[in-house]
């Protein structure tokens, strides 16, 4: 009886970790800086790269000043291409541990019941979203989203 309740459990886990997605910092050019000829309709939006310099006195908190250690400026109209490279920055790290626990209960010879419990982001680690990377936006450098918190689901399955 004790083995029927405490024995035979199976545990499986998945650990996901990465260093963050590459980010392009850009600006939306004014009419004097726009050399793309694009208008914001079906042909796409004109987005160009700004100039950047390190800002050693900047504040770096991940939520409100993600790019706080750098100062970005819009280039002059005579030289509209900035010095920021493509994918020069990375978004916040992502780390998540998922857990699954299951057990089969034999009811009869040809009849079994499976109980399964799954925990996504089992430790409820906060993973921040992508910061706004357009210096023309009022929300530039802020993070206003997160990935989902812990989610738990239970399942029963009859196998015959």
Domain boundaries, the chain: 2-29+44-159
Contact 39, 29 (CB under 8 A): no
Residue 47 to residue 27: CA distance in whole angstroms: 6
Q: Element (H or E) spanning 5, and its range?
A: helix 2-6
Residue-level pLDDT at 103: 94
Residue-level pLDDT at 56: 81
What predicted TM-score, i.e. pTM, was given to this entire model? 0.75
* The pair of three-digit structure tokens given for residue 106, joined into one six-digit string: 């034999």
Contact 26, 47 (CB under 8 A): yes
**What are the 10-residue block averages of pLDDT along the chain, 160 residues in total?**
77 95 88 64 69 84 88 86 90 96 91 95 96 92 95 96
CA torsion sign for 26, 30, 35, 41 is positive
At residue 152, φ and ψ (nearest 5 deg) are -125, 140
């Amino acid at each position: 009886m004790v083995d029927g309740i405490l024995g035979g459990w199976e545990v499986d886990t998945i650990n996901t970790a990465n260093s963050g997605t590459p980010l392009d910092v850009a600006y939306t050019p004014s009419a004097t800086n726009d050399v793309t000829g694009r208008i914001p309709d079906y042909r796409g939006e004109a987005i160009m790269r700004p100039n950047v310099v390190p800002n050693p006195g900047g504040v770096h908190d991940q939520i409100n000043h993600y790019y706080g250690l750098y100062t970005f400026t819009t280039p002059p109209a005579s030289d509209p291409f900035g010095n920021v490279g493509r994918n020069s920055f990375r978004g916040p790290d992502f780390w998540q541990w998922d857990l699954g626990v299951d057990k089969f209960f034999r009811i009869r010879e040809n009849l079994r019941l499976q109980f399964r419990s799954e925990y996504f982001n089992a430790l409820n680690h906060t993973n921040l979203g992508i910061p706004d990377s357009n210096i023309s936006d009022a929300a530039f450098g802020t993070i206003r989203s997160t990935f989902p918190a812990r989610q738990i689901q239970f399942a029963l399955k009859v196998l015959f």
